[in-house]
Amino acid sequence: MTTNSPGRAAPDFSAPATSGKTIALADYRNRYVVLYFYPKDNTPGCTQEGVDFRDLYAEFRNSDAEILGISRDSVKSHEGFKCKFEFPFELISDQDETICKLYDVIKMKNMYGKEVRGIERSTFLIDPAGAIAAEWRKVRVKGHALEVLGKIRELAGR
């Protein structure tokens, strides 16, 4: 059982985000939070994942959930990415990997035959009390956003 296993308190953080905001996880108490970690802005898989969450955003909001994306890209990069694909949710910049380390998503990955440190695509569902309700590691993008929405509906009894 890792420190981020379901049922444990979600590690709190405060970090710069799009829309000129500083986001603290504690600000989202009393609703569900989908915290999704992705490797890099404007790459095919990360774009598709963001688009899938965007397309289901109204349904997440109807389930009293907020979506927050996190990568190591700068706020400036995030702003362009968010604008280009019209994401209605905020993207958090974690350039120093502080949040990534709290959630243990930095892993050694194989890229073009070379080992590199990077974000393992992961999603954490945080319940209204601030506990991790579910987590997904090594996420496959296709169908993922819908699976997360289904989990929220299951937990909320909707």
Per-residue pLDDT of the chain (158 residues; tens, 9 = 90+): 344 566 899 999 999 999 999 999 999 999 999 999 999 999 999 999 999 999 999 999 999 999 999 999 999 999 999 999 999 999 999 999 999 999 999 887 776 787 878 899 999 999 999 999 999 999 999 999 999 999 999 998 76
Give whole-number Cα distances, 130 to 26, 71, 96, in Å: 8, 21, 24
Looking at the 3D structure of the chain, how many domains does it have? 1
**Residue 150 belongs to domain with CATH number:** 3.40.30.10
Domain that holds residue 78: 30-156
pLDDT of residue 117: 82
- pTM for the full predicted model: 0.92
20 part of a folded domain: no
38 part of a folded domain: yes
Which residue from 36, 12, 10, 14 is spatially nearest to 120, judged by alpha carbons? 36
Three-state DSSP class for residue 130: coil
36 part of a folded domain: yes
145 part of a folded domain: yes
What digits encode the pLDDT tens for the residues 120-134?
999 999 999 999 999
4 part of a folded domain: no
Three-state DSSP class for residue 22: strand
100 classed as catalytic? no
124 close to 39: Cβ distance less than 8 angstroms? no
90 part of a folded domain: yes
Q: How far apart are CA 39 and CA 16, in angstroms?
A: 17
Which one of the listed residues 15, 17, 35, 46 is annotated catalytic?
A: 46
List beta partners, residue 7.
none
16 part of a folded domain: no
Tokens representing 12 are 């709190």
23 part of a folded domain: no
